[in-house]
Amino acid sequence: MSKVAQIQDSEFDELLTDEGLVVVDFTAPWCGPCRKIAPLMEQLAEEYEGRVKVAKLDIDQNKINAKKFGIKSIPAVLMFKGGEMVENLVGVAPYEKFTSAVNQHI
């Protein structure tokens, strides 16, 4: 069972009401690099369960937030705290880059 929630544009604002850290993976099914980081997002969700929410948003089906946050290249992993974006990581990166960013903001 996946610990990474698949969200829609309609759920995005509600997700950001969380005071804790929220990690959103902007992705698409056709994106090869996105598939490379998908297991890393699962690992992140598992490792930080109860402390960090991890979700993914398909930019093909949910264009509102992709446009709102200026997503031009995917994968793009955005981190939010208290409703504000605190981190924007674009492209494939090692797991340590994601955990380092999470640790900086929790």
Q: What is the pLDDT of residues 1-16, one digit of tens each?
A: 679 999 999 999 999 9
Rounded to an integer, what is the distance from CA 23 to the centroid of its chain? Answer: 4
Which of 21, 23, 34, 59 is flagged as catalytic?
34
Q: What pTM value is reported for the model?
A: 0.96
Q: How many domains does the chain have?
A: 1
Residue 24: beta bridge partners?
55, 78
Q: Is 31 a catalytic residue?
A: yes
Contact 39, 27 (CB under 8 A): no
**What range does the domain containing 32 cover?**
5-105
- The CATH number of the domain holding residue 89 is 3.40.30.10
- Among residues 16, 23, 31, 54, which one is catalytic? 31
Query: 86 catalytic, yes or no?
Result: no
Tell me the pLDDT band of 87, cut-offs 50, 70 and 90: very high
With beta carbons less than 8 A apart as the criterion, state whether 23 and 42 touch: no
